[in-house]
Chains A and B, each alone.
Chain A
Amino acid sequence: DAGVTQSPTHLIKTRGQQVTLRCSPKSGHDTVSWYQQALGQGPQFIFQYYEEEERQRGNFPDRFSGHQFPNYSSELNVNALLLGDSALYLCASTLSGQGASSPLHFGNGTRLTVT
């Protein structure tokens, strides 16, 4: 049973550039969430996608955008990268409609370094 997979595992970008991170949810899951985890901090919610639409959004600027595809996989795009965007980006998936019985499952993340 494949868990949540993310690519790439590591990425180095320069300030001002744009980046795309990819996520495949756990088999059977249809809802994908993205979190940003700065060094020494807990993950912070960026947004959640369900049925190819953004359903919830955290306190992140419009430079952060996403997409969900018909196969439930998802992309996170960050434009005009800042040094402060350096972090571990985590994708998490769940099955909608299950409420409390379907907790989030996380991938191992993409480590983004902005220089």
Chain B
Amino acid sequence: QKEVEQDPGPLSVPEGAIVSLNCTYSNSAFQYFMWYRQYSRKGPELLMYTYSSGNKEDGRFTAQVDKSSKYISLFIRDSQPSDSATYLCAMSVGGVSGGYNKLIFGAGTRLAVHP
């Protein structure tokens, strides 16, 4: 079993739809949760960054973390064609002295938003 599971999609939605992306994980030691967006032929770009459980909102994006269920979500409101990309969840135990711990990524979900 992989540490982080993510449905690879692809997910196709009409412009303006609400998109829900999800990941589950097995390591209860994870404390830091991230969502990255990756356009074709580009590196991952950090979208959302959450510590422990709870919700975080940034514009059209909302990240949710439920540590009791080992489940994280990213919601995109009013989706746009420019949101078409691969969305990667990532998480880490974090907290090591001297900086950032390694990230464990999901496989990524391909999203296509059509006009």
A residues adjacent to B (C-beta < 8 A): 4, 31, 33, 35, 40-45, 48, 50, 55-56, 58, 90, 94-100, 102-109
Contacts and interface: CB of A to CB of B under 8 A. Distances in A.
A45 to B, nearest CB: 4
Interface in B31-51: 32, 34, 36, 41-46, 49, 51
Nearest to A45: B102
B105 A42 contact: yes
B88 interface: yes
Contacts of A95: 99
B105 A44 contact: yes
Interface string B11-33: 00000000000000000000010
B45 A31 contact: no
B100 to A, nearest CB: 5
Interface of B: 4, 6, 8, 32, 34, 36, 41-46, 49, 51, 88, 90, 94-96, 98-108
5 contacts: A31-B100, A56-B102, A100-B32, A102-B100, A104-B46
Contacts of B94: 99-100
A42 B99 contact: no
Nearest to B44: A106
A40 B107 contact: yes
A111 to B, nearest CB: 8
A4 B103 contact: no
Contact of B103 (A31, A55, A104, A108): A104
A50 B107 contact: no
